[in-house]
Amino acid sequence: MRFLSSSIGKKIVVALTGLVLVGFVFGHMIGHLLMFAGPAAYNEYAHFLHTVGHGMGIWVARSVVFGSIIVHVLFTIQLTKQNRAARAEPYGYQHTQVASKSSRVMIISGLTLLSFFIYHILHFTVRVWHGFNQLPLFDLAGEKVFDAYQMMIKGFSFPLVTGFYILSMVFLCSHLSHGVASIPQTLGLNTEASGKLFKKLGLAFAFLILAGFSVVPLAINMGLVK
Amino acid sequence: MNLNLHLKVWRQASPNAKGSFQDIEARDIPDHASFLEMMDIVNERLIADGKEPVAFDHDCREGICGMCSMVINGRPHGPERATTTCQLHMRKFRNGDTIWIEPFRARAFPVMKDLMVDRSAFDRIMAAGGFVSVRTGAPQDANALPIGKEVADAAMDAAACIGCGACVASCKNASAMLFVSAKIGQLNALPQGQPEKHRRTLGMVRQMDKEGFGNCTNQYECEAACPKDVSRTWIASMNKDFAVASGREALLASARERSEGD
């Protein structure tokens, strides 16, 4: 389609898929904070996710998130290639006036997050390591359900894994600090005033996500959540 | 006070020749000279020594034509905000400074010689829709077409763009979106621009893509480098106008196909 082959068309698709992922990341973070509410609350939440809509709900959500990631990554790789080609010869004297460091490494932070995402899926969704699938079932008011709470405790019992997760969240924070504020600009919703507001909101959101995701593995490592 | 400066000037004999930086000592430059006058002094001395002068673009020298185009210490038009190279003065530099002088660098702006680049890509973008079609004849009375003050002011802000290309030169991706959005926005904001709004937006954006400019990544280096302070919000407006025009085009195309099928 002609729209998708244009510069602005691609950018708009990147902004829309980014918006979907921003929403997902926020919901995902809120869900994980239930670790502080104890095993019953967390496992009930996990059980709900796996059974809502007769077990189809989670597949709809997964399809939307996976699809968004694939499109977001493919289009940004294409755009980045075009951008590099557009400045074939670099300046002898390099100078940056206002562009943030985060905005200049979006492709690096983004591809690092992609590799983290693959690891994360293998770690906690496919559960290829640590024998998570053999964990004893949890008794949720008489119903035997998967013990996602214990999986989290075991999964974050290695400082190296915790370190990698938190490092990835720093990359996510960097990525969001530029990405969130870019969404309304690319979608054509920005005015002078809203641009400044969205910049602040984007930064606040990025650090909220960093804090919200880091606090769970840190608490487990420090033995505050058992 | 006069200044002694070390210049590092990009020298390139022709479009396909390999270029490099040449060290030139610019001695005894009056601090009230403009940057281009400093270049004139340097060139006079090169000519007196029987050497090839530095080729650079210039025209009005009063900040409105958009011809002067050099990148000074990594910044198009030099270190002063909202100032063209011709209106930059040597008093902004210090005795003994090293100054790097390079051409605008973008694949869509090929170097012709030394500091001169070919910016005809901008002309082709303008030809793709940067105008209002009018029938010839006597102009109508200016007050016959009421325009709100906010709209008139906004269109005037966009019209301040002199098409110099500093946005492209400063952008990390050599994107032309600030220029194109200012030109689209100026006309799309006004009632005179409405009849051709969608055709203009599609035509100019597609020509921009064809010329090989990069894509905006919302870093706003362009706005910081613009000698006329054109705002980033024009890019947001262009994005919206392009989405609307694309949707409209797709709907019309499918409607046409259906009516042809009848």
pLDDT value of residue B209:
98
B106 confidence band (pLDDT: 50, 70, 90): very high
Q: Look at B205 and A8 and tell me if their CB atoms are within 8 Å.
A: yes
ipTM (interface pTM): 0.93
Residue of A8, A101, A191 for testing the chain B interface, max B β-carbons within 10 Å: A8
pLDDT value of residue B22:
98
- Taking CB atoms within 8 Å and a gap of at least 24, the contacts of A106-112 are A106/A76, A106/A175, A106/A178, A106/A179, A106/B217, A107/A76, A107/A77, A107/A80, A109/A171, A109/A172, A109/A174, A109/A175, A110/A73, A110/A76, A110/A175, A111/A73, A112/A168, A112/A171
pLDDT value of residue B212:
97
Do the beta carbons of residue A79 and residue A72 sit within 8 Å? no
Residues above pLDDT 90, as percent of chain A = 88
Residue range(s) of every CATH 3.10.20.30 domain in chain B:
2-113
pLDDT value of residue B41:
98
Q: Look at B175 and A11 and tell me if their CB atoms are within 8 Å.
A: no
**Per-residue pLDDT for B258 more than 70?**
yes
Q: Which residues of A60-73 are buried (b: 16+ CB within 10 A; e: fewer)?
A: eeeeebeebbebbb
Find the CB nearest A86 among B174, B221, B242.
B174
Q: Give the whole-angstrom CA distance, residue A59 versus residue A124.
A: 16
Phi, psi of B91 (to 5 degrees): -65, -10
Q: Is residue A92 part of a domain?
A: no
**Per-residue pLDDT for A1 more than 80?**
no
B262 confidence band (pLDDT: 50, 70, 90): low
Q: Is residue A156 part of a domain?
A: yes
**Per-residue pLDDT for B242 more than 80?**
yes
Q: Give the whole-angstrom CA distance, residue B88 versus residue B39.
A: 12
pLDDT value of residue B204:
98
Residue A77 C-alpha, separation from nearest chain B C-alpha, in angstroms: 12
User: Which chain B positions have a beta carbon within 8 Å of A76's beta carbon?
Assistant: none
Selection from A75, A29, A28 nearest residue A186 by Cα = A75
Q: Look at B172 and A87 and tell me if their CB atoms are within 8 Å.
A: yes
Instruction: State which residue of chain A sits closest to B73, comparing Cα positions.
Output: A93
Q: Look at A103 and B213 and tell me if their CB atoms are within 8 Å.
A: no
C-alpha separations of A178 from A19, A33, B124 in Å: 13, 25, 33
pLDDT value of residue B33:
97
Do the beta carbons of residue B68 and residue B85 sit within 8 Å? yes
User: Which chain A positions have a beta carbon within 8 Å of B213's beta carbon?
Assistant: 7, 86
- Compute the average pLDDT of residues B129-149: 88
Rounded (10°) angle between helices A159-186 and B233-261: 70
Instruction: State which residue of chain B sits closest to A189, comparing Cα positions.
Output: B236
Q: Is residue A56 part of a domain?
A: yes
Instruction: State which residue of chain A sits closest to B236, comparing Cα positions.
Output: A188
Residue range(s) of every CATH 1.10.1060.10 domain in chain B:
119-133+146-261
Q: Does domain B119-133+146-261 have CATH number 1.10.1060.10?
A: yes
Q: What is the pLDDT of residues A151-193, one digit of tens each?
A: 999 999 889 999 999 999 999 999 999 999 999 999 999 998 9
DSSP of chain A? -HHHHSHHHHHHHHHHHHHHHHHHHHHHHHHHGGGGG-HHHHHHHHHHHHHTTTTTHHHHHHHHHHHHHHHHHHHHHHHHHHHHHHS-S--SS---SS--HHHHTHHHHHHHHHHHHHHHIIIIIS--STTGGGSPPEEETTEEE--HHHHHHHHT-SHHHHHHHHHHHHHHHHHHHHHHHHHHHHTT---HHHHHHHHHHHHHHHHHHHHHHHHHHHHHHTTS--
Which residues 18-57 on chain B approach chain A with CB closer than 8 angstroms?
21
- H/E segment holding residue B186: helix B177-189
Q: Look at B219 and A99 and tell me if their CB atoms are within 8 Å.
A: yes
- The average confidence (pLDDT) of chain A is 95
Q: What is the pLDDT of residues B33-74, one digit of tens each?
A: 999 999 999 999 999 999 999 999 999 999 999 999 999 999
Q: Give the pairing of strands B116-117 and B111-113.
A: antiparallel
C-alpha separations of A103 from A175, A195, B98 in Å: 8, 16, 29
Do the beta carbons of residue B108 and residue B214 sit within 8 Å? no
Burial of B182 (0-12, 13-18, 19+ CB in 10 A): buried
**Per-residue pLDDT for A123 more than 80?**
yes
User: Domain of A161?
Assistant: 2-84+102-221
pLDDT value of residue A223:
87
Q: Look at B239 and A187 and tell me if their CB atoms are within 8 Å.
A: yes
Q: Is residue A67 part of a domain?
A: yes
- H/E segment holding residue B203: helix B197-210
Q: Look at A189 and B240 and tell me if their CB atoms are within 8 Å.
A: yes
Structure tokens at B97: 């400074």
Q: Is residue A89 part of a domain?
A: no
Q: Is residue A32 part of a domain?
A: yes
**Per-residue pLDDT for B149 more than 80?**
yes
Q: May I ask the CATH class of domain B2-113?
A: alpha beta
Half-sphere exposure of A118 (CA within 13 A, CB side): 6
**Per-residue pLDDT for B261 more than 80?**
no
Q: Look at B74 and A95 and tell me if their CB atoms are within 8 Å.
A: yes
> What is the distance of C-alpha A34 from the center of its chain?
18
Q: Look at B240 and A188 and tell me if their CB atoms are within 8 Å.
A: yes
B136 confidence band (pLDDT: 50, 70, 90): confident
Q: Look at A188 and B220 and tell me if their CB atoms are within 8 Å.
A: no
pLDDT value of residue A142:
87
Structure tokens at A50: 């796996």
Half-sphere exposure of A198 (CA within 13 A, CB side): 20
For chain A, the domain total comes to 1
pLDDT value of residue A130:
87
- Compute the average pLDDT of residues B173-188: 98
The CATH number for A207's domain is 1.20.1300
Q: Which residues of A189-200 are buried (b: 16+ CB within 10 A; e: fewer)?
A: ebeeeebeebbe
- H/E segment holding residue B86: none
**Per-residue pLDDT for B142 more than 90?**
no
**A contact set with B (CB within 8 A):** 1-3, 6-12, 79, 82-83, 85-100, 103-104, 106, 178, 181-182, 184-192, 195
